[in-house]
Amino acid sequence: MGGYMIYIIGFLAQICFSGRLLFQWILSERAKRVVSPSIFWLLSLLGSYLLFFYGWLRDDFAIILGQLISYYIYIWNLDIKNDWQKIPRPIRYVLIATPFLAIGYMFTESRAFISQFFQNEKVPLWLLVYGSLGQIVFTLRFVYQWIYSRKRHESMLPLGFWLISLSGSTIIVSYAIVRHDPVLILGQSTGLVVYLRNIWILHKAKKR
């Protein structure tokens, strides 16, 4: 696949991620509190699906790892909001099966996978470890959000989610600069403003 098409897939993914933050921000400002709208999770799932393929086409394991960690948490949030069942069944099957098929390839074609992603001259091992660390920190926010929401039987976006988002995003931006990756630079940089705004809204609500 041509380089331009790969970047188009990446930018489409980032449009979904930026769109989810924009909707969440607008709806939170209207409600005067931090909300967790269904459109946030739907765009998260679509963006994650596209970014997974972008990472695969870019031979970037850090991106792939980040999407695998949070992918099914998006589905869980849609399910608890009773929106998962609204997606046509064939599409749901494809969404659920894709990561399993990718993991199956990793194990059955392990030599080719290691050669493609861990012996890549474009991504030295130290940079791969650093980028993977950023993706792990960034996506652990959804693990935290899932645990927090499960305890309350409601999809929520607590303060810890936004603090972890800010930390992980900062690492990923620096990784993207070294990798000369415009998709990650643009996508992560635009999110920083929203993370800070949500932290401020939650801080004000706590003081009240």
The C-alpha atoms of residue 181 and residue 84 are separated, in whole angstroms, by 32
Q: Are 16 and 49 in contact (CB under 8 A)?
A: no
Structure tokens at 169: 């995003």
- Give me the pLDDT at residue 66, please: 83
- How far is 159 from 34, CA to CA, in rounded Å? 9
- In angstroms, the Cα distances linking 79 to 6, 25, 85, 144, 184 are 31, 22, 7, 17, 28
3-state SS assignment for residue 124:
coil
Give residue 61's identity as a one-letter amino acid code: F
Give residue 63's domain range.
3-207
**What's the pLDDT score for residue 110?**
81
- Residue 48: closest CA among 112, 98, 104: 98
Closest to 195 measured CA to CA, from 25, 78, 13:
25
Question: How many domains in the chain?
Answer: 1
Given its phi and psi angles, is residue 36 left (phi above 0), alpha (psi -120 to 50 degrees) or beta? beta
pLDDT (tens, 9 = 90+) of the chain, 208 residues, equals 567 899 899 999 999 999 999 999 999 999 988 899 999 999 999 999 999 999 888 888 888 888 888 899 999 999 999 999 999 999 999 999 998 998 888 888 888 777 777 766 777 788 888 988 988 898 889 999 999 999 999 999 999 999 999 999 999 999 989 888 888 888 888 888 889 999 998 888 777 6
Count of CB atoms situated within 10 Å of the CB of 5? 10
